[in-house]
Structure formats: C-alpha cells, structure tokens
Amino acid sequence: MARPALIVHGGAGPVPETERAERQAAVERAIDIGWTNIADGALAAAVAAVRHMEDEPLLNAGIGACLNGDGVVELDAGVMLGAERRAGGAACLRDVRHPIDLAVAIMRDGRHVLLAADGASRFAREHGVEMCDPAIFITDRKRQELMRGADTVGAVARDADGRLAVAVSTGGINGKLPGRIGDSPIPGAGFYADDRHGAVCGTGLGEAFIRLGLARVMVVEMEHGMDARAVADGAVAYLDRAMRASGGVIVLGREGSPAAAFNTAAMPFAVRE
C-alpha cells in the first residue's frame, strides 16, 4: 500500500502583497476539499481541488480569471491518469462552467486528447457537462484587466493504491490573443503523470513550458532516479536558464513527499500526506 499525498498550487506570479494571504487561504480550502476525496482515488482528489479553485475569484481559473485582448474570459484545463497515461484537455472555453469537468469527460470518452473552442463546447453539451453564461466568469472587470503574470491552478495526487493523477485549470495570460492556447491543456507541456515514476504540474509562461516540453522532461528525470525535490528545483532553474521565463512546478513521485519550486514573487501551495 502506498502513502497517499496531495499537493495543490494557486499559480506562480507577481502576486500583490494584499492578495497573498487570501490566495493562500483559497488554496488551503481547495486542498481540504481534495483531501476529503482521496479515498476515492487520486483522480477524484486532484479534480475536486481544482474544481474548487475554479470558483475562487482571486485565482486565475474559472470565475475571476484574466481577460483576453477582447475583454473575454477564455479557459483551458487538462487532466491525466498515470496508470494508462490517459489524458484529456479542453481549451478556449467561454461557456463551460467547470473546465476541469470537461477535461475529465474528454479523457473518459477516449477518442481525442484535446478539444477547443466551439467544438469543445458542443462536446460538453452532448455529454451533460454544466454550461453557463460567459458573464459569470467576470466578477471585477477592472481587477481582471490588470491581472499580471500567467497563473494556473493545479493539483497532483497519489492514492493508497499508488495511482497518480494531475489536474490543471487556467485563464491563461492577461491580454492574450483570442484563441491562444497555453501549456495547461497539453500533456507533456503543463502536466504529466506516469504511475511508474511520478506526476507533475506547472504554472507560468505557457509558451516556455510548451517549447521545452517541460512536464514530460521532469517525469523522465524521475525515471532516471531523481527525487521530487531535485526535479522541482531543477525544472525551475532550467525554465529560467533555457527560456528566461518565470514560473513554478509541483511534483510528486511514486513514493516520498511532494515538492514545489518557483522563481516568482509568490506561489501559494499546500501539501497533505
């Protein structure tokens, strides 16, 4: 039997001092909710934590997420199971209430890994995923227009059977071009899970994570014997060295404690074991 563990983050970036305590509290609420689901498996725990963060208006996912260049919220999400490396991603969503639910539905359907925009919304409606008025995501337009950085929320879990899962959700980059897709819905870029070695989730400049294939690189490093702490620290150093990019990561191996690292002013995160 494995030792269950869960690590959750609320995004790495230039978090204003006035919001740090509130963002940390939001992450603590999310991990409490995720941890209550750990007996149902790693996927249930990770998704529950991220789903809650999609409802936290200070975090850049779901309600309160940053605005694109047209002043609209466009959301991305991704999920992956380490057992069979099954994955699902959804991108450029405007009317799906919980993007992480759609990512799970796409993964379970199994025909594709990533759906975007109108096609993703159509799939959501056909599969009973909750839809909404896009206006629900805008709670404080002035604040959302001024959001800086490239926050993402995410969770990585390991259950008592040793199964690993990762879940991610984001509003992307403030002022982004409509239709821009970052690393968050792309396996191997913003997240990856493999029960044999470990699972990871990133937050930061998505273009840099995509170009480096950073999430997959991190799991390969665990395959080569590096522990979670070394992988987390090394990934952030590599992100800076190779791309001059900011960001953070959370990492969980097939055994041992979770680890987090970031090179930004803040990255609220929490751990349960």
Answer yes or no: are the C-beta atoms of 79 and 165 closer than 8 Å: yes
Q: How many CB atoms lie within 10 A of CB 223?
A: 12
Q: What pLDDT is recorded for position 150?
A: 61
pTM above 0.75, yes or no: yes
**Number of domains the chain contains:** 1
DSSP string for 100-143: HHHHHHHHHH-S-SEEEHHHHHHHHHHTT--B--GGGG-S-HHH
Residue 159 has pLDDT above 70, yes or no: yes
User: CATH number, domain at 21?
Assistant: 3.60.20.30
Catalytic residue among 36, 139, 152, 170: 152
pLDDT tens figures, 68-123: 999 999 999 999 999 999 999 999 999 999 999 999 999 999 999 999 999 999 99
- Between strands 191-194 and 164-170, the pairing is unpaired
pLDDT tens figures, 245-263: 999 999 999 999 999 999 9
203 is known as an active-site residue = no
DSSP string for 10-35: ---B---HHHHHHHHHHHHHHHHHHH
Q: What's the Rg (C-alpha) of the chain?
A: 16
Domain residues for 241? 5-272
Q: Alpha-carbon dihedral of residues 136, 124, 87, 199, nearest 10 degrees?
A: 20
